[in-house]
């Protein structure tokens, strides 16, 4: 099992990072939160042009048929830059859902448009994903339930606010929905959920790295009593703890990507481990960055707030820490029970 990035993946991450740095994503995120979607839409189309939205789409539907690890590389970089919009849903969740459903008609209709960036998609999956993100700007908005996939009537729903102002949430209504497919969904909902959880875990890890980098740079520049605060041992220890936690969680992301590739339908434990670990690391990064910056971090004008609120919002979506830890425990305990049964 190979967990290190290939040269091509490293080059992809570098080019994506350079593009997003030039795009001034904090300004894009603020505009998105204020209801101005043009800068964000332009950025999402640029991401499509370099292949981000087609990574998990098959070649038969004009995609790249890339690895899950390639998706993790992309989402980690998008999280680092706090890119707004339903990118997880458009590039990861809905392509997985449509390609796993027994009914292939919907994949043929929507996947080429998603891969090219001509359309975007969003999804709700109650109970762990009760809201559809940015459903008012997505061409395809679906709700996945245990027994059906439904088209969301966005006009019949009211947006709900989030702690992250760049996230507009829409609660699906079953009484106004149109059934897209029902009964025989196969393993599509479970597969889509795992890919969504992994993509958000990668975003959390990327956001945590930005918070660490920003706090470290601030600690080098901010002076008290004639010296940078970063020279204080206590600040060094705080930042070192974050760096360690992030470094320990990253292999879990790529391990989960390999598990989803090599054992389809059986990678849930690894995905949950990655989501729980990345969330914990990002939360520690957020708390530490806030502490290092002091009072300035509480101001709305400071960019730090964009990442602080994004981390807090992403911690609870696609399954919170309690859910994912329980899923890991169930998988481990189930394996132990099976081993004992085999021995007896």
Q: What is the pLDDT of residue 193?
A: 97
> What predicted TM-score, i.e. pTM, was given to this entire model?
0.94
Query: 3-class DSSP state for residue 99?
Result: helix
| Confidence check: pLDDT of 221 > 50 | yes
pLDDT band per the 50, 70, 90 thresholds, residue 342:
low
Q: What is the pLDDT of residue 338?
A: 53
Nearest to 21 by CA among 308, 303, 315: 303
Percent of the chain with pLDDT over 90: 83
| Confidence check: pLDDT of 344 > 70 | no
Q: What is the pLDDT of residues 152-184, one digit of tens each?
A: 999 999 899 899 999 999 999 999 999 988 878
Q: What is the pLDDT of residues 97-116, one digit of tens each?
A: 999 998 889 999 999 999 99
Contact by Cβ (8 Å): 137, 156: no
What is the average pLDDT across 284-313? 92
| Confidence check: pLDDT of 8 > 90 | yes
Domains, the chain, ordered by start = 188-343 (1.20.140.10)
| Confidence check: pLDDT of 225 > 60 | yes
Q: What is the pLDDT of residue 52?
A: 97
Q: What is the pLDDT of residue 336?
A: 55
Q: Which two tokens stand for residue 163?
A: 């702690």
- The more confident residue out of 295 and 202 is 202
Cα–Cα distance for residue pair 141/210, rounded to 1 Å:
30
Q: What is the pLDDT of residue 335?
A: 63
pLDDT band per the 50, 70, 90 thresholds, residue 123:
very high
Q: In whole angstroms, how far apart are CA 147 and each of 104, 141, 163, 179?
A: 17, 17, 31, 10
Q: Which helix (H) or strand (E) holds 111?
A: helix 105-116
Q: Which of 23-27, 143-147, 246-250, 321-325 has the lowest mean pLDDT?
A: 143-147
| Confidence check: pLDDT of 284 > 80 | yes
Burial 89-111 (b: 16+ CB within 10 A, else e): bbbbbbbbbbbbbeeeebbeebb
- The more confident residue out of 341 and 236 is 236
């Amino acid at each position: 099992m190979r967990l290190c990035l290939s040269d091509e993946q490293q080059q992809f991450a570098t080019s994506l990072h350079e593009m997003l740095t030039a795009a001034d994503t904090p300004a894009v995120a603020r505009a998105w939160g204020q209801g101005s979607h043009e800068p964000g839409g332009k950025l999402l189309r640029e991401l499509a042009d370099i292949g981000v939205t087609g990574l998990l789409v098959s070649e038969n539907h004009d995609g790249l048929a890339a690895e899950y690890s390639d998706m993790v590389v992309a989402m980690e970089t998008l999280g680092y830059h706090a890119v707004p919009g339903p990118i997880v849903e458009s590039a990861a969740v809905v392509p997985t859902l449509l390609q796993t459903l027994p009914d292939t008609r919907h994949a043929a209709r929507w996947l080429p448009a998603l891969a090219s960036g001509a359309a975007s998609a969003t999804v709700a999956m109650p109970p762990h994903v009760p809201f559809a993100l940015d459903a008012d700007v997505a061409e395809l908005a679906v709700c996945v339930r245990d027994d059906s996939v439904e088209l969301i009537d966005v006009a019949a729903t009211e947006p709900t606010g989030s702690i992250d102002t760049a996230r507009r949430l829409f609660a699906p209504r079953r009484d106004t929905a149109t059934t897209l497919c029902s009964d025989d969904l196969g393993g599509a909902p479970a597969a889509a959920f795992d890919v969504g959880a992994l993509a958000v875990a990668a975003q959390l890890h990327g956001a945590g790295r930005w918070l660490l980098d920003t706090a470290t740079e601030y600690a080098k520049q901010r002076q008290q009593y004639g010296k940078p605060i970063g020279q204080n041992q206590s600040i060094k220890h705080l930042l070192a703890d974050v760096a360690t936690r992030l470094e320990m969680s990253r292999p879990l992301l790529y391990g989960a990507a390999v598990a989803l590739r090599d054992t389809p339908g059986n990678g849930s434990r690894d995905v949950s481990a990655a989501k729980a670990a990345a969330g914990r690391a990002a939360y520690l990064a957020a708390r530490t960055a806030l502490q290092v910056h002091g009072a300035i971090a509480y101001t709305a004008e400071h960019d730090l707030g964009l990442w602080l609120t994004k981390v807090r919002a992403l911690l609870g979506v696609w399954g919170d820490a309690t859910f994912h830890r329980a899923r890991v425990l169930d998988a481990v305990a189930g394996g132990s029970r099976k081993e004992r049964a085999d021995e007896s």
